[in-house]
Chains A and B, each alone.
Chain A
Amino acid sequence: MSNIKKASSVNFEKTIMEKVKSNEISMKPRWYFIVGSFSMIGGLIGLCIGVIFLINLTLFLLRQHGPMGQWRLELMLNSFPIWVPILAIAGIALGIWMLKKYDFSYKKHFWFIIAGCIISIFMTASLLDYVGFDDLWFKQGPMRRFYQQIENQNDPLFKEQGRGQMRNRQ
């Protein structure tokens, strides 16, 4: 008997309906898909906000550390918290993967969608940097401590003098 005949003789209806009737297989409830859909949207929005924040933080740190001239670049390479841009890139990659899961992604040219997303993220982060949002957060607000920690964690002067003396450094 050829493979074809074997396959054609498979009684899908009987096999599957037996599983359905015996509850061996059951439908996932509707809420499962609703929750999944909302989590996906929420996750994507959260991820975008996170990436914008990390890029903004990277721009802020670049402004504080360099790169301008060789010694600034060296100083930056020694003390720059490299995990911030790495995390931002990982966030972008995750965002692209999530975007691909959406129905609309294949209807348009996906590379345009990706390019549009990345450009808008960078533009938002740059805009926040331009208006001085990060400077404001460095000085006050709930993120002040985080910003100051990131800014000073690898600063040799900060390590030597301690936190209290940092304010009188300049």
Chain B
Amino acid sequence: MNDHLKLSDEEIVEIVRTKDREVYAEIIKRYQKKLLRYASYIMGDEEKAADVVQESFIKAYVNLNGFDEKKKFSSWMYRIVHNEAMNLVGKHKKQQGFDEATDYDSGINLEDDLIKKELIRHTQQCLKRMPILYREPLSLFFLEEKSYEEISDILRIPIGTVGTRVNRAKIIMKKICQT
């Protein structure tokens, strides 16, 4: 299994598809924390986020032969999580209180740096109060460190729109965080 550590995601996917399906565990290992974090930004609820991620891993496995190896696997995976989360958000729209000032304690270790951790925690609290339209590109850009092109692939919006949304999100964020 250690041999797979050096391989790219796309190479692992190819092994899963053609040789050994159990190598899919490596994909789960690589992505579970990132995806859980991302789903949490969208859902604002870790339990629902966990459901989304689990369902996404299952869907990704079932549709693995539909993945185009010329593209980036991470964008494909994030896209699945995005779709799953959006489905759930649609279902629970009435129940979900985006503007609720609930205690949001992320226990996920993002960086070793304590200051950055605190900053991220504060950002998450502000993010939760932001409309989902802006919350997603902003979290992908700043917290997941995705490029505009990757965000465009994940959200399926033009790169220009990604830029516009990120910029608007920064303004909204500033307003929210300062109040």
Where the two chains meet, the residues of A that have a C-beta atom closer than 8 Å to any C-beta of B are 2-8, 10, 12-13, 15-17, 19-21, 25-30, 32-33, 105-110
Contact A27 B25 (CB under 8 A): no
Q: Is B53 part of the binding interface, using a Cβ–Cβ cutoff of 8 Å?
A: yes
Interface of A is mostly: helix
Q: Is B96 part of the binding interface, using a Cβ–Cβ cutoff of 8 Å?
A: no
Q: Give the CA-CA distance A17 to B32 in the complex, in Å.
A: 13
Q: Is B46 part of the binding interface, using a Cβ–Cβ cutoff of 8 Å?
A: yes
A154 smallest CB distance to B (angstroms): 44
**Closest CB pairs A-B (n = 3):** A7-B46, A7-B50, A106-B156
Contact A28 B63 (CB under 8 A): yes
Q: Which of B28, B152, B157, B158 contacts A12 (CB 8 A)?
A: B28
A90 smallest CB distance to B (angstroms): 25
Contact A25 B47 (CB under 8 A): no
Q: Is B123 part of the binding interface, using a Cβ–Cβ cutoff of 8 Å?
A: no
Cβ-closest chain B residue relative to A36: B66
Contact B65 A29 (CB under 8 A): yes
23 A–B contact pairs at CB < 8 A? A2-B107, A3-B47, A4-B106, A7-B36, A10-B54, A12-B28, A12-B32, A13-B25, A13-B28, A13-B29, A15-B54, A16-B28, A16-B54, A16-B57, A17-B24, A20-B21, A20-B24, A28-B66, A30-B65, A105-B156, A106-B152, A107-B152, A107-B159
Interface residues on B, range: 20 to 34
Contact B36 A27 (CB under 8 A): no
Q: Which residues of A contact B24 (CB under 8 A)?
A: 16-17, 20
Contact A8 B46 (CB under 8 A): yes
Cβ-closest chain B residue relative to A100: B156
Contact B61 A20 (CB under 8 A): yes
Q: Which residues of A contact B40 (CB under 8 A)?
A: 7
Q: Give the CA-CA distance A30 to B50 in the complex, in Å.
A: 29
